[in-house]
Structure 1
Amino acid sequence: MKKVLIITYYWPPSGGAGVQRWLKFTKYLSSFGIQPIVLTVDPGRASYAQRDESLKDEVADELLVYTTKTVELYDLYKKLIGKGEIPYGGFSNQQEESVLQKVAKVVRGNFFIPDPRKGWNRFAYQKAVQLIREHQIDTVITTSPPHSTQMIGLKLKRQLGIRWIADLRDPWTDIYYYGELYRSSWAKRRDQVLELKVLQAADQIVTVSKALKRLFDEKLGGTTGSKILVVPNGYDEDDFDVKVPVSDDKFVITYTGTISTAYDMDGLLRALRELDEQQQKGILFRLVGNIPPVIIDRIRHELPLIELDLVGYVDHAKSVSYLLKSSIQLLIIPKIENNKGIVTGKFYEYLASGKPVLAIGPMGGDLGEVIMETACGLLFDYSDSEGIKKMLTQNLQGSFEINRDRATKYSRRELTQKLVQEIVL
């Protein structure tokens, strides 16, 4: 088999959507003649925002996984603010920002470029060189965020002439919370220079949506041709091969993942309020994930008749079980600049569950295109309370149907085949 080295900071027992992408690719690569070898950070030294110990069970016994030590700059951040929680989800888990948190953001944005996990790079590079020589590897894949991981690939390319594929799951200098880092003009320019160096030097760039492909292509002058490939996130059919009892006494709306004040809920809450009283009393609104108190208080205040179930953060298997228990699944795209390219990883798991998706976000973007293609639900503008109310009513009456067969192209196995065939691993 051809051997490929995958360099990723996030790996089990790290939790969150970012882990799933390459965990699932490594599961299926051997089926297409590729032996993946993984290089990651020592989990005992890493600064994970979320942990999911259950994901370790999904790492194949035969998969070679190597870890290295690191210098975690987030340790300094935690000492500075006096808290043990690492920010994630665009700082959605941080409320009522203190002076110390602002200072920490200034330090993070201006001294830790491109990000605080760059302390792993020196150790990862040294180990990567060893593995490349030991296993006679000629292709390396770096996946980010953290985008500092791409600097490892850049150095390997320059020093060893290795074939290098850069997988970028999120924007770099265009990420929606970039302005919250209080970066100076010098720091912004430095970050932009690093981003462009990576885009120019990589032999192949892989990203998750058409909008991100356009964004990176524009930075390269619009002349990249086939250099940038879109391989979206997806779902693993094995994760959904479970039987979960579904209660018929409640209509369950489920939202999973992070949420913040950037997620416009005005139209949704208005639609739910306008349902008649009996319908409202029959609804259970389930939030799976870490939800800020200000969001919870608003929902309780505006929807007093609707039962609210606050589940909190759960492991991946448990999250899937909540999807399968749902009547309808809620997806909200943050109302931010350049959000037409956002297709969250959890959307594909919504898709796999076979339950209708009520999506709220920008019209004319990548998400709307996939929803139309798969016929899995409907996308509404943030203010379209009438449309949202109509879909909720149809589902409450059991008259909204979806076609599950159209989702198969987004299975992890199919996407792995696309990855192998189109970038010619």
Structure 2
Amino acid sequence: MLTSRKKVLVIAYIFPPLARAGVHRTVRFVRYLPELGWDLTVLTVAEPYYPPNSPIDRELLKKIPATVKVAATPVFRGVENLFRIKKALRGKHKPAAISQHEITKKAAATEAAQIADNHPAATKPRGLVQRGKDLITDLTSIPDKDVNWLPHAVKHALALHRREKFDLIYSTAPPFTDHLVAQFIKQRTGLPWVADFRDPWARAPWKAEILGSSLRGKAAAKLEHQFVRHADRVILNTDWIHREFTQHYGANLSRKFTVITNGFDPQDFTDPVMPPARNAKMIITHTGALYRKRSPEQFFAACERLLAQGKIAPHELEIRFVGGIAPELYRTFECSAALRQTIQVIPQVSHREALGYQLQSDVLFILQPGTSVSVPGKIFEYIGMRKRILALTPAGATADVVRDHQLGPVVDPEDLPGIEAALNQLVDEYRRGGIASPSVNGAFKKYDGVELTRQLHHEFLLSLEHGGRG
């Protein structure tokens, strides 16, 4: 228990109004920690220095208490300019938001180029020039592409500490540059450090193809070990990641590890405006980005089969995708005229608007292929909505959350008959009077963001007792 207020330096590249993945966990902690006796200063990136086309949500700023100080710094432009040169050489750019019509129109034209781009090693060996480009990319992406923030972040953090006299450092990653900044500050000041891994890194299943045995892969393994060794406490967000870290690092270092799951902000659900008792059609909604392996292809195939067999009519179904869609997935939206009638693609919206779309829905949709260790943050908002969840995910952390709390059907993403059966069951239930809300079986309390912040408060106290010894 705190006998006096303590000062914390929060290192968070992703912080409002920047609305990249992971921002809501940080916002919840920053919102509720002051009530527990912590005075926070957030070190982050100034908006003019955000990467191009970064998602912005200014409404999130309303959740930050007035007592929280925010120090927003520039970034070093030199590395960014190198990336611009590299992208220009490759002819790549990040597309703006795109409608369903545009997705369907462009899918066929882009598919061949995407296949060639996604599998360059299969077409021809890398030449000397390409190996040189790859080396530059590796060197300028350690620990990640946000490393250009490092010089300014360290400089400003040390200046802030001279003025504020912090008691504790808290860093949240990805980007893992945040942890690298924190490690530098700990080494210079001796302050206790709590490192929050919102995702696995060096051995993350979805990064194996990207990192592998490359220079970046080797650097990730070495830096992750350094972070774990130097931090006083290490926060992981699923039991599966905790088990993997414990097996990798052994009993001695694992004494630092604890699990604080993702969750939801209860204030987002205090007084929802309830939709009509029953929608005119069954609405299935996915909020958040679709990218890499997070493809709805098998889900669409199951819908196509149900439509073709007459088990559901287009006028009975509406499928909403709220958020960005990566170009490599455009081709999956090529579908029959019947299915196309049911699909709505809604470009990225504010968090508040995304919650509104969830509230209007009968079923909330999770796509989490390719990993057993992580849980997408949106699932906890789905729990807050008390809506039935359809989860397409392999056995693992996400499946455990849905099954343990009886939130809805769980099907492997490649099990087409299983997806079809789950959809058919939901359609039958909808026709019999609507989709009943799940009991949630204790999930609402377990994933309450206020309670999760109390758990972080406890970890802060442990790190102070440890005294910054690492």
TM-score, normalising length: structure 1: 0.88
52-61 or 216-225, larger mean C-alpha shift: 216-225
Query: Secondary structure of the equivalent of 2:222?
Result: helix
Counterpart for residue 253 of structure 1: 284
1:78/1:85 contact within 8 Å kept: no
Structure 1 position 361 matched with structure 2 position 393: yes
How far apart are residue 3 of structure 1 and its match?
1.5
Paired residue for 1:237, among 257, 266, 269? Answer: 266
1:268/1:388 contact within 8 Å kept: no
Residues 73-97 of structure 1 show CA distances to partners (whole Å, capped at 9, x for unaligned) of 334323432466399xxxxxx9845
Counterpart for residue 446 of structure 2: 409
How far apart are residue 58 of structure 1 and its match?
2.1
2:406/2:441 contact within 8 Å kept: no
342-351 or 415-424, larger mean C-alpha shift: 415-424
Structure 1 position 189 matched with structure 2 position 224: no
Structure 1 position 56 matched with structure 2 position 93: no
What is the letter of the counterpart of residue 310 of structure 1?
A: V
Cα separation, 2, equivalents of 1:196 and 1:86: 36
Residues 25-66 of structure 1 show CA distances to partners (whole Å, capped at 9, x for unaligned) of 111112222222211111112326322222222222221111
Counterpart for residue 338 of structure 2: 304
How far apart are residue 279 of structure 1 and its match?
3.8
> Could you say what the CA RMSD is over the residues aligned between the two structures, in angstroms?
2.9
Paired residue for 1:31, among 35, 44, 67? Answer: 35
Query: Secondary structure of the equivalent of 2:399?
Result: helix
How far apart are residue 113 of structure 1 and its match?
1.0
Structure 1 residues 190 and 229, CA gap change in structure 2 (3 angstroms): same
Paired residue for 2:230, among 198, 201, 209? Answer: 201
Structure 1 residues 120 and 44, CA gap change in structure 2 (3 angstroms): same
Structure 1 position 424 matched with structure 2 position 429: no
Q: Comparing both structures, which one devotes a greater share of its residues to helix?
A: 2
How far apart are residue 12 of structure 1 and its match?
0.9
Counterpart for residue 104 of structure 2: none
How far apart are residue 265 of structure 1 and its match?
4.0
Counterpart for residue 323 of structure 2: 289
What is the letter of the counterpart of residue 63 of structure 1?
A: V
Structure 1 residues 74 and 282, CA gap change in structure 2 (3 angstroms): farther
Cα separation, 1, equivalents of 2:93 and 2:298: 36
Query: Secondary structure of the equivalent of 2:194?
Result: strand
199-208 or 179-188, larger mean C-alpha shift: 179-188
404-413 or 226-235, larger mean C-alpha shift: 404-413
Query: Secondary structure of the equivalent of 1:418?
Result: helix
Paired residue for 1:132, among 161, 185, 188? Answer: 161
Cα separation, 2, equivalents of 1:354 and 1:121: 41
Give the share of equivalent positions with the same residue, in percent: 26
Counterpart for residue 255 of structure 2: 226
Counterpart for residue 125 of structure 2: none
2:289/2:323 contact within 8 Å kept: yes
Structure 1 residues 17 and 292, CA gap change in structure 2 (3 angstroms): closer
1:196/1:219 contact within 8 Å kept: no
* Structure 1 stretches lacking a partner, 5+ long: 88-93
Cα separation, 2, equivalents of 1:187 and 1:293: 25
Max Rg structure: 2
* Structure 2 stretches lacking a partner, 5+ long: 97-109, 121-129, 463-470
Counterpart for residue 382 of structure 2: 350
Counterpart for residue 70 of structure 1: 75
Residues 357-386 of structure 1 show CA distances to partners (whole Å, capped at 9, x for unaligned) of 0001112x1112222332222211220235
Cα separation, 1, equivalents of 2:16 and 2:197: 19
